[in-house]
């Protein structure tokens, strides 16, 4: 496990990405897109788990333009509010450019087969949706992505597989917004949406107060099957 430096496409600098490699030495790539808490221990754990089942996992630092190396605890109220502050100042379009740079780097990584997907949580879930709309990434998964409805006009651009996991009790994505997402993506052949009754925002974050074991296990099994089908083993 090591960090890789990636050059930003706008020439303003470089940012770090945590990289976890599979024991087999080669595999499809997955870009793990952060919540508002940065590339913290939990996100690195997600990358490590992906590597353990055969993927080359990369978690880029998407807050580097605000403050490099942010690592926050989702269950600490002060740190939670700090994360909200970063999100409010976050340049979404620049972040997508950075994820595209990470995508290019991961496709060229010697351990990568060249097939690469994105998976994101919360803020990262929204970015995964946007990557499906704005890039040629091979597959994308979003867990409880926030503020997606204003972006649904871009859904017509989705050509590669997209999977969204929606928490029905998500306080940040109320039922009307959930329905908007489902209605907009229903005619998109490449898009699949699953809802999880009783699950709240952050339900896949093990170790957190929001963790919902049943919903997380079901969503994770669907995600693994989705990536194996789209990216290969």
**Contact between 29 and 109 (Cβ < 8 Å):** yes
Q: Write the CA distances from 157 to 8, 117, 141, 216, integer angstroms.
A: 24, 17, 16, 29
Q: Based on the residue annotation, tell me whether 170 is a catalytic residue of this protein.
A: yes
Of 224, 193, 192, 217, nearest in space to 203 by CA: 217
Establish whether 201 is a catalytic residue: yes
Catalytic residue among 10, 201, 209, 233: 201
The rounded distance, in Å, linking the Cα atoms of 49 and 37 is 19
In terms of Cα–Cα distance, which of 94, 148, 101 is closest to 120? 148
The Cα-based distances of 87 to 100, 106, 122 in angstroms read 19, 25, 11
Select which of 61, 98, 138, 170 is catalytic.
170
Active site residues: 170, 201
């Amino acid at each position: 496990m090591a960090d890789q430096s990636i050059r930003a496409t706008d020439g303003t600098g470089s940012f770090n990405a945590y990289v976890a490699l599979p024991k087999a030495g080669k595999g499809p790539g997955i870009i793990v897109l952060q919540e508002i808490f940065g590339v913290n221990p939990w996100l690195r754990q997600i990358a490590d788990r992906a590597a353990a089942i055969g993927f080359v996992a990369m978690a880029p630092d998407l807050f580097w333009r605000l403050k490099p190396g942010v690592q926050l605890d989702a269950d600490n109220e002060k740190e939670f509010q700090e994360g909200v502050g970063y999100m409010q100042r976050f340049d979404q379009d620049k972040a997508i450019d950075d994820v595209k740079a990470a995508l290019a780097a991961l496709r060229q990584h010697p351990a990568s087969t060249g097939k690469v997907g994105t998976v994101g949580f919360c803020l990262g879930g929204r970015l995964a949706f946007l990557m499906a709309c704005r890039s040629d990434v091979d597959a994308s998964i979003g867990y409880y992505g926030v503020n997606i409805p204003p972006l649904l006009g871009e859904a017509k651009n989705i050509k590669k597989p997209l999977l969204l996991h929606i928490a029905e009790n998500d306080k940040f994505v109320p039922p009307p917004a959930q329905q908007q997402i489902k209605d907009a993506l229903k005619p998109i052949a490449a898009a699949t949406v699953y809802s999880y009754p009783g699950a709240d925002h952050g339900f896949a974050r093990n170790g957190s107060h929001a963790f919902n074991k049943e919903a997380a296990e079901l969503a994770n099994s669907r995600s693994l099957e989705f990536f194996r089908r789209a990216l290969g083993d």
